Amino acid sequence: MTNSDRNELRRRFVKDNSISRMSLCYVNSSREKVVVQNESFQNLPEEEAFKYLDIAKKSLSGNIGDNLMEFAFTSSQEEGENYRFLTALKESGLKNAELVDLLFDRIIDSYVYDGNFLITVLYDDYDVMTKTKDKLALDESEEVFSYIIVSICPVNQTKAGLGYLPNENRMGAREKDWVAGAPDVAFMFPCFSDRSADIHHVCYYTKDTADIHDEIIDSVIGCSTKKTATQCRTVLKDVVDESFGTEDKEKAKDMLLKIHDSINTKLEESSAEGEDVSGMTLDREVLTAAVKDAVKEEAYVNKIVDTCEEAFEKEPPVLQSFVDKKALKASEGERREKALVKEITELKQKLESPDTADMPENKAIKIIIPTGRAETIKIETMEGERFVMIPVADGEEPFIKEV
């Protein structure tokens, strides 16, 4: 799924849409079903419908490759029970109450969360219009993309306080209430790739890119996974930290940023040459070159490369996973600050050196001129100040002494 594919679907979550059905289940902290609904989406009050559309939008948000991942089903997984279940659920259009209830049960049994949460499921038949090369839609339909979006949202209690009471037109005490937040985890099946249904992949959203809730993937979806960009960067950080040891954290941090910077430079150069960088992966050659740019000691280079290669053995991550723009920008600011501090320190040391710091103010001094130079002394004015100018030959210096 590309940004273009994702945005095309998100633009559909507006007032005029083809979403036909909505199911939800509100679960308390004791894992009990408090509310279960299964109804036509078009019959919902407009204000209420917009809330569910907002949840769907956020379920397809974030950075692709980090918050939004495309996970594949292997041939054996497509023959498994989970895949057949999701296919049956989608093909039923959420009209089979038993299948919907089974989905809720599987999520409730597996989702790791201590508080209350809301499960929402939307079903849509998207009539995908044919587009020309200039991206203008034509009248004829290319295919109908049928899909479901499943979202899991934490439900938290608001704080009591003063608020406006519209029915009484006055300020008064407002009671605590339970409100559903943004999705913590969500998935869309099947995936939407190249403006078409991709039944071999699922689109998976996670709010926390360091913890993607593997229990949902294993127990509910049943597909293969890969590391998010955040997890890839964490692996690289752990490898670099381990290589340098805990006694040299600053050096490890500096080396890590240099590796990121080297990978970013590689991507920029390849892109400038017209290459498609979206599919470029971190192979041994690229990784070795990046580490060598940052680490000069050969022993460290081999250790970092070998450990990373082992960690990413199953599936080499794409290079773009290691481009952390925020970190690079922060490190650039940090480098400039260190350089400025160093420059100020050196300037201060020069000012405090014996040649200048020990020179008394408003006191007479004796200047001993090298032989033969006295006649060349001149008094000149610069920027309103008068100075004694003493020409000195190469290698000669006047000797200044306090009287």
DSSP per-residue string spanning 256-309: HHHHHHHHHHHHHHHHHTT--GGG-B--HHHHHHHHHHH---HHHHHHHHHHHH
Q: Are residues 339 and 380 in the same domain?
A: no
Write down the pLDDT at residue 103.
Answer: 97
What is the C-alpha separation between 168 and 176, in angstroms, rounded?
A: 19
User: Is residue 135 domain-shared with residue 103, that is, in the same domain?
Assistant: yes
Residue 212 has a pLDDT of 94
115 with 213, same domain?
A: yes
70 and 101 co-located in one domain? yes
Q: Print burial letters for 60-76: b (CB count within 10 Å at least 16), e (below 16).
A: bbbebbbbbbbbbbeee
Domain, as residue range, for 259: 230-323
Residues of the chain where predicted confidence (pLDDT) is lower than 70: 132-140, 245-247, 324-339, 350-380, 382-384, 386-388, 390-403
Residue (of 237, 239, 320) closest to 64 by Cα position: 320
Query: What pLDDT is attached to residue 199?
Result: 96
Same domain, residue pair 364 and 352: no
Same domain, 376 and 392: yes
Using CA atoms, how far residue 227 sits from 21, 76, 146, 340, in Å, is: 33, 21, 28, 39
Q: Which position has the token pair 């890119």?
A: 209
Claim to verify: residue 240 and residue 373 sit in the same structural domain: no
Pair 318, 191 in one domain: no
Q: Which of 302, 323, 344 is the last residue of a domain?
A: 323
Report the domain count for the chain. 4
Cβ atoms of residues 118 and 153 within 8 Å? yes
Question: At which of 304, 323, 342 does a domain end?
Answer: 323
Could you tell me if 290 and 364 lie in one domain?
no
Q: What is the largest CA-CA distance in the chain?
A: 110
Whether residue 160 contacts residue 174, with contact meaning beta carbons closer than 8 Å, is answered with yes
Residue at token pair 């964490």:
234
Q: Which tokens hold the place of 273?
A: 């040459």
Looking at beta carbons, which pairs linking 229-237 to residues 24 or more positions away fall under 8 Å?
229/63, 229/65, 229/66, 229/317, 229/320, 229/321, 229/322, 230/66, 232/312, 232/317, 232/321, 232/322, 233/260, 233/321, 233/322, 233/324, 234/210, 235/308, 235/311, 235/312, 236/308, 236/322
The answer on 197 and 268 residing in a single domain is no
192 and 53 within one domain = yes
Residue ending a domain, choose from 303, 323, 343: 323
Instruction: Using DSSP, state whether 57 is helix, strand or coil.
Output: helix
Distance CA 33, CA 108 (A): 9
- Angle between helical axes of 229-244 and 298-311 (0-180°, round to 10): 140
At 175 the pLDDT is 81
- With 0.75 as the threshold, say if the pTM is over it: no
pLDDT at 372: 60
Task: Compute the distance between CA of residue 245 and CA of residue 330 in angstroms, rounded to an integer.
Answer: 24
* pLDDT of res. 73: 96
Do residues 313 and 336 both lie within one domain? no
Q: Of 72, 73, 71, 59, whose CA–CA distance to 6 is shortest?
A: 59
